[in-house]
A and B are shown apart, each in its own frame.
Chain A
């Protein structure tokens, strides 16, 4: 059943994938010229995951949700395949980006630098977190909900900056906040070299993804189409 749903969505949205694939290839090829490929890999993977998260909202656009939900599939199946599809596309995006970055003739990237396990693990973690964060919003509210959620995060960020400035704490300045985020990301990235840390982090990601999945199933099963 999951295979049928995957085939259905990839057939229905194939043109969207193809249209974005060219952009994706261009970005990956361009990133081959610059040093420090990690950011490009992560951004590419997150973008691909976001694309699959929003795919379900295309049915809202064409008012085809009633048709899909009338097919002989359970709502749990529908949610399961969306998470699966998001991760599959994310994995494919990571490998595709890495491949293009080293394959283009003008590449400045060393293969071992691009195919760094820590970078790829970090990219997959970013994919999982993107899906975990975005999928419940989209399943419940459509694409608009996702953008509202992202907007909400922006507002939260602004509020925290304003609040920090109001109470004059050291970390409330924008530069220090960004620096702190950078250090956190670098620290996580470096720590992924430690097997135990990697296992712990991946377990945490898996737990978050599972919690998101359960929430999505709960939302979809209660949704009136």
Chain B
């Protein structure tokens, strides 16, 4: 799991953060270069907390967190100069124009590309002289994206970037992220609770639930490795219930998920059980045990 720490863009090992009423515990993941990783989980799972830890907006209580081989807390200025970010609710001074924000942010990044910023404003249909405070939620996200994409960042950290965007731009954004990693050799970490976005764009998927890591793996391994198990209630004994990663019981039977499709086929061989490949939404839904 632990690759060469010099080549991995992001490495979290045993990272934890405790709040009153919530705890993020033992989060370990690795983001290689040139990869889009989707960070998925239900609301309140800890996705935004992980992103804030990466940006050193909150302090970790335990664990090691490195970006580009450097500790994000000790070398925060150098690390952040290589990161483009979009917060869940982009917030800038409302009286500033979009062009003004660009000029202000530009001075902090040695690799700022003014021509690219101008081009992105044009492509995103953002009027440069419009004040930030007068923009809709979706347009504010577009501004934040334009700023993040305009300094050749090696890592894009996006917190719910598609939230508030129209479906057309959402699709366009995901395609743009794929193109970005191809052009820049960069990596992308974006959090979302929209599974369709991951299925469209992500190479790796990290699933967080209740402050804990459920899995962090390639999308293909997840899709190919997990199983959706449907069977009669009579088969659902305590042993099966404990073995499944999540199960819901209905009037006609049970539906559960397993993280080992091979083992599921062997276990239920010859039984009246249907085993299918689950969607990401199924995995997210059934591991919460609530649909």
Contacts and interface: CB of A to CB of B under 8 A. Distances in A.
Interface of A: 1, 4, 7-8, 11-12, 15, 58, 62-64, 66-67, 69-75, 77, 222, 224-225
Contact of A12 (B89, B90, B96, B108): B96
Nearest to B95: A15
B87 interface: yes
B151 to A, nearest CB: 10
B93 A73 contact: no
A1 B109 CA distance: 11
Contacts of B83: 72
B83 to A, nearest CB: 8
A-B pairs, top 4 by smallest CB distance, nearest first, are: A72-B81, A72-B80, A224-B58, A225-B57
Interface stretch (B99-107, B203-211, B232-240, B263-271): B99-107
Contacts of B76: 72, 74-75
A71 B108 CA distance: 7
B91 interface: yes
Nearest to A65: B91
Contact of B87 (A11, A67, A72, A224): A67
Given A63-B89, A72-B77, A72-B81, A222 B104 contact: no
Contacts of A73: 77, 80, 108
Interface in B26-73: 52, 55-59
B78 A72 contact: yes
A8 B107 CA distance: 9
Tell me if B's interface is mostly helix, strand, loop or mixed. Answer: loop
B179 to A, nearest CB: 24
B113 to A, nearest CB: 16
Contact of A71 (B59, B80, B87): B80
The listed residue with most B CB atoms (<10 A of its CB), out of A1, A7, A12, A75, is: A12
Given A58-B93, A75-B76, A225-B57, 5 more contacts: A4-B107, A62-B94, A66-B87, A69-B55, A224-B59
Nearest to A3: B107
A108 B244 CA distance: 89
Contacts of B58: 224-225
B274 to A, nearest CB: 46
A74 B91 CA distance: 20
B92 interface: yes
A66 B107 CA distance: 18
A1 B108 CA distance: 8
Interface string B210-232: 00000000000000000000000
B104 A11 contact: yes
Nearest to B96: A12
A70 B80 contact: yes
B117 interface: no
The listed residue with most A CB atoms (<10 A of its CB), out of B93, B104, B108, is: B93
A58 B94 CA distance: 11
B57 A12 contact: no
B87 A12 contact: no
A99 to B, nearest CB: 30
Nearest to A13: B93
A62 B89 contact: no
A69 B52 CA distance: 10
Contacts of B80: 70-73
